[in-house]
Amino acid sequence: MKQKILVKVQMHGDKCRTKALKIAASAYGVSKVSIEGANRDHVEVIGDGVDSVCLTELLRKKLGFAAIVKVEQVKGDKKEEKPTACYVQYCAPQCPPMYCEVVREYPEPTCSIM
Tens-digit pLDDT profile for residues 77-102: 555 556 555 555 555 555 555 555 55
Q: Report which of residues 79 and 45 the model is more confident about.
A: 45
> According to the model, what pLDDT value does residue 43 have?
93
Query: Whole-model pTM?
Result: 0.63
Number of neighbouring beta carbons within 10 Å of residue 57: 12
| φ and ψ of 5, to 5 deg | -115, 130
| Domains along the chain with CATH numbers | 2-74 (3.30.70.100)
7-19 pLDDT, tens per residue? 999 888 889 889 9
pLDDT digit string (tens) for 46-70? 999 889 999 999 999 999 899 999 9
Contacts of 20 (CB under 8 A, 6+ apart): 9, 11, 35, 43, 59, 63
pLDDT band at 1 (very low <50, low <70, confident <90, very high): confident
The residues, any chain, with a CB within 8 Å of residue 74's CB and separated by 6 or more, are 2, 3, 4, 46
Q: What is the 3-state secondary structure (H, E, C) of the chain?
A: CEEEEEEEECCCCHHHHHHHHHHHHCCCCEEEEEEECCCCCEEEEEEECCCHHHHHHHHHHHHCCEEEEEEEECCCCCCCCCCCCCCCCCCCCCCCCCCCCCCCCCCCCCCCCC
